[in-house]
Amino acid sequence: MRLLLVEDDDRVAAALVAVLGRHGFQVRHARSGHEALDALVPDGSDPYRVVLLDLGLPDRDGFEVCSRIRAGSGVPVIMVTARADIRSRIHGLNLGADDYVVKPYDMGELLARIHAVARRGAPRAGEDSGPEPTGPLASRGVEIDRERRRVSVEGRDVPLTRKEFDLLALLAQSPGVVYRREQIFSEVWRSGWEGNGRTLEVHVGSLRTKLGLPGLVEAVRGVGYRIAPEPAEQAEQVEGPGGAGEARGAASASASADDDAER
């Protein structure tokens, strides 16, 4: 999932790029409003799924940037700012921001909010949702028919339980993006994570066995699970500062952690 981070503080941005990269996001960092608006001009690349927008920018106010984004794009915008007063919150949401997060924030909550607005933003009418007419995992032989709740691998129907299907369908929404265990439990089981870790491990193990693709669902150390990115995607995990190093770090962590998160 591509994400545009608009943040003028390089130290804050570097930390966010590192964390978001580990969670499977391809992050582009813009340091000013001008850079942000320029980054959103279509250039044939995959569209951004979310914009994280700081309001204190060096060249123009973040509210103005949000207005200009909203005038030309439906991409979800999350304002991330130290401005905590209610008037700023209301103003930002009225300008078209999809969410408003006040610093300091919990990183887990920010990740959950990113996923939430991305889900709402993906199917907007009139926008190009990407060249995936046969499903996000079709290139690996997996077809997911959400309407009929059926899954096939290389044309072979694979019977799944209701929770197994819901788990696979959730992870397949954004291949390569890490879903936190808490988020998975909230969306699939509609309950809290505490004390239920073994249940998730059992369902992931069953999915791997039934699909006959043990590497498709990948555990990420101390975080959660994702659909393993294809090799070409791994090489482009991060576009921001230190991108190549971050990409190598993320790939290394995920490769060595496949069994760790199941303990």
The model's pLDDT over 42-54, given as tens digits with 9 standing for 90+, comes to: 887 878 989 999 9
Range(s) of the domain holding residue 197:
138-227
Q: Specify if 16 maps to a domain.
A: yes
Do 16 and 81 reside in the same domain of the chain?
yes
- Asked, for residue 245, whether it belongs to a domain, the answer is no
How far is the C-alpha of 72 from the C-alpha of 68, rounded, in Å? Answer: 7
Residue 158 forms part of a structural domain:
yes
Answer whether residue 123 is part of any domain. Answer: no
Query: What is the pLDDT confidence band of residue 121, given thresholds at 50, 70 and 90?
Result: low
Inside any domain, residue 52: yes
Claim to verify: residue 146 and residue 197 sit in the same structural domain: yes
Does 105 share its domain with 161?
A: no
Looking at residue 136, its pLDDT comes to 60
pLDDT given at position 11: 93
Task: Indicate if 108 and 143 belong to the same structural domain.
Answer: no
The tally of domains found in the chain comes to 2
31 lies in the same domain as 105:
yes
Q: 30 lies in a domain?
A: yes
Q: What CATH number has the domain bearing residue 110?
A: 3.40.50.2300
Query: Which is more confidently placed, 178 or 196?
Result: 178
pTM here? 0.58
Residues 102 and 193 reside in one and the same domain = no
Q: Taking residues 204-215, what's their average pLDDT?
A: 92
**In this structure, are 54 and 10 located in the same domain?**
yes
Mean pLDDT of 215-224: 87
Q: Both 219 and 155 in a single domain? A: yes
Mean pLDDT taken over the chain: 79
User: Which has more pLDDT, 150 or 238?
Assistant: 150
103-139 in b/e burial notation, b at 16+ Cβ within 10 A?
A: eeeeeeebbbbbbbbbeebeeeeeeeeeeeeeebbee
94 and 146 together in one domain: no
Give the best-scoring range by mean pLDDT among 13-22, 187-196, 202-211, 246-255. Answer: 202-211
In this structure, the answer to whether residues 112 and 75 fall within a common structural domain is yes
Residue 106 shares a structural domain with residue 166: no
Residue 158: CATH number of its domain = 1.10.10.10
Q: Is residue 243 assigned to a domain?
A: no
Q: Is residue 72 part of a domain?
A: yes
**What pLDDT was estimated at residue 97?**
93
Band of residue 129 on the pLDDT scale cut at 50, 70, 90: very low
pLDDT above 70 (res 254):
no
pLDDT digits (tens, 9 = 90+) for 57-107: 999 999 999 999 988 888 999 999 999 999 999 999 999 999 999 999 888
Residues 176 and 204 placed together within one structural domain of the fold: yes
Q: 170 pLDDT exceeds 60?
A: yes
Is 60 exceeded by the pLDDT of residue 255? no
The residue out of 56, 87, 118 marking a domain boundary is: 118
Give pLDDT, residue 236.
45
Residue 158, C-beta contacts closer than 8 angstroms, at least 6 positions apart: 151, 152, 210, 211
